[in-house]
């Protein structure tokens, strides 16, 4: 089936008793058993939930995977993936990940004996150099948050396979509409479903998808045993949203490209990062790797740009009227964020400097409003 057909139907059939077209919200914590141990396949809400299963199957299909595991947040998904490892194992991770991911690995997992190397994974040689005999996982975010640096998933997957390590890709920024890492050889793909998959800024959630049965068994165990599961209602909301993923992503990408072009030509803007601008250093990789299921390519709705300093960034952000100043991304409404003081404040200043997150960097999550209104808003905010 095509992507949009799967988006509407995968994991869902009309409910057998009433014919309800929409998957019901099974808002229950437990299930009746005929006698001890005689159950319907559903025992307890943490372990199984039909609404959650529908969502897991739906997103697994969109990611060209077989098995999906939903979580209460993107961080809970990342936490569960990290639990596939043990003390002493080494992880090579993209140096510019979401600030919370960096905080999770450095402040929590290192305490339990995981070893981390923060590497510019856009440089394959740097990944090779960082490799150790105990390297068991490569954790890649592409495009990165907020620098929009790309890593070549196919090449890193080859390296990881040769050396018996798992490749995990955080695909939050593009969604499966623009990038399907499992097709490129990744073992696991994960999302903060809080972002594009839900798309309406009313749920915090996460998901992990794989094609591998051995990993699926371990993830099913961890999902239940560690327990970071989402509420049935949140699953129901995300399932409602994935139906329009293709429509929304096309609108986000169209608006974002127009805005990136506008900012590129603006005298007050020092630099714009957007992978589908020819000026992006990895434009070629973007065209090759960030493909829709229909063969065209795109870069989603995130645009990063630089103004000279913190004072200018503050001035611009305070003047924005339509763009809302807020953390998060991927919703239908446009947001503006100052990573150095907001989403990446938990990354140490030296690391921020190394990655290039300056005090004059502004990150836009471009929504699906009329693009002329968005450009007019930026225009008035960038004026003296
Ligand atoms: O917020 P949560 O659902 O727990 O997801 C964490 C997460 C994981 N991966 C990426 C790439 C992310 O961007 C995030 C969350 N990011 C933000 C809240 C933000 O504003 O960047």
21 and 116 in a single domain? The answer is yes
237 and 254 in a single domain? The answer is no
Q: What is the pLDDT averaged over residues 285-308? A: 98
- For residue 179, what is the domain's CATH number? 3.40.640.10
43 and 158 in a single domain? The answer is yes
- For residue 328, what is the domain's CATH number? 3.90.1150.10
232 and 269 in a single domain? The answer is no
- Of 242, 267, 298, the position where a domain reaches its end is 242
Structural domain containing residue 313: 245-381
Q: Which residue CA neighbors atom 17 of ligand 1 most closely?
A: 328
Residue 384 has pLDDT above 90, yes or no: no
Give the nearest ligand 1 atom to 205 CA: 3
> Ligand 1 center to residue 132 CA distance, Å?
28
91 and 197 in a single domain? The answer is yes
Tens of pLDDT, residue by residue over 20-48, are 999 999 999 999 999 999 999 999 999 99
19 and 71 in a single domain? The answer is yes
- DSSP track, 286-345: HHHHSB-TTS-B--TTEEEEE-SSHHHHHHHHHH-SSSEE-S---SSS-EEE-TTTTTTT
* Residue 46 falls in the annotated catalytic set: yes
Number of helices and strands (H, E) in the chain? 14, 12
| Dihedral angle sign, alpha carbons of residues 156, 283, 317, 204 | negative
* Cα pseudo-dihedral 293, 297, 302, 307, rounded to 10: 170
Given a contact cutoff of 8 angstroms between Cβ atoms, the answer to whether 218 and 183 are in contact is no
193 and 51 in a single domain? The answer is yes
| Dihedral angle sign, alpha carbons of residues 120, 126, 132, 136 | positive
* Residue 98 falls in the annotated catalytic set: yes
pTM, two decimal places = 0.98
Tell me, using a 6 A CB cutoff, whether residue 117 lines ligand 1. no
Tens of pLDDT, residue by residue over 216-253, are 999 999 999 999 999 999 999 999 999 999 999 999 99
| Substitution site in 75, 100, 200 for ligand 1 pocket (most atoms within 8 Å of beta carbon) | 100
* Residue 170 falls in the annotated catalytic set: yes
Q: Which residue CA neighbors atom 16 of ligand 1 most closely?
A: 328
Number of domains in the chain: 2
175 and 289 in a single domain? The answer is no
Q: How far apart (Å, rounded) are the C-alpha atoms in residues 95 and 276?
A: 22
Q: What tokens appear for 55 in the block? A: 């969502």
> Ligand 1 center to residue 147 CA distance, Å?
14
CA dist list (Å): 90 to 109, 120, 136, 305: 11, 16, 6, 34
């Amino acid at each position: 089936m095509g992507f949009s057909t799967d988006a509407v139907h995968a994991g869902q059939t009309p409910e057998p008793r009433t014919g309800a077209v929409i998957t019901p919200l099974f808002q229950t914590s437990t299930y009746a058993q005929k006698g001890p141990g005689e159950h319907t396949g559903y025992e307890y809400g943490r372990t199984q939930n039909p609404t959650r299963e529908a969502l897991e199957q739906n997103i697994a299909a969109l990611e060209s995977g077989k098995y999906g595991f939903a979580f209460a947040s993107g961080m809970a998904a990342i936490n569960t993936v990290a639990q596939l490892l043990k003390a002493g194992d080494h992880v090579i991770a993209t140096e510019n990940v979401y600030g919370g991911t960096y905080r999770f690995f450095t402040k929590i997992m290192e305490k339990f004996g995981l070893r981390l190397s923060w590497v510019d994974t856009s440089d394959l040689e740097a990944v090779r150099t960082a490799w150790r005999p105990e390297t068991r996982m490569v954790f890649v975010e592409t495009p990165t948050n907020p620098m929009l640096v790309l890593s070549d998933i196919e090449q890193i997957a080859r390296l990881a396979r040769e050396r018996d390590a798992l490749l995990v890709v955080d695909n939050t920024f593009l969604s499966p509409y623009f990038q399907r890492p499992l097709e490129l050889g990744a073992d696991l793909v994960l999302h903060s479903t809080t972002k594009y998959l839900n798309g309406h800024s009313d749920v915090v959630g996460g998901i992990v998808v794989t094609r591998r049965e051995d990993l699926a068994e371990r993830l099913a165990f961890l999902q239940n045993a560690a327990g970071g599961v989402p509420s049935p209602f949140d699953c129901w909301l995300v399932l409602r949203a994935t139906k329009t993923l293709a429509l929304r992503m096309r609108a986000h990408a169209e608006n974002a490209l127009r805005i990136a072009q506008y900012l590129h030509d603006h005298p007050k803007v020092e630099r714009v990062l957007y992978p589908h601008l020819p000026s992006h250093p990895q434009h070629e990789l973007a065209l090759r790797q960030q493909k829709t299921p229909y063969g065209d390519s795109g870069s989603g709705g995130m645009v990063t740009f630089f103004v000279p300093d913190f004072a200018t960034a503050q001035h611009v952000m305070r003047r924005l009227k339509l763009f809302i100043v807020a953390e998060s991304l991927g919703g239908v409404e446009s947001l503006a964020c100052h990573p150095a003081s907001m989403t990446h404040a938990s990354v140490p200043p030296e690391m921020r400097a190394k990655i290039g997150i300056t005090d004059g960097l502004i990150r836009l999550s471009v929504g699906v409003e009329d693009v002329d209104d968005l450009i007019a808003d930026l225009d008035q905010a960038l004026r003296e």
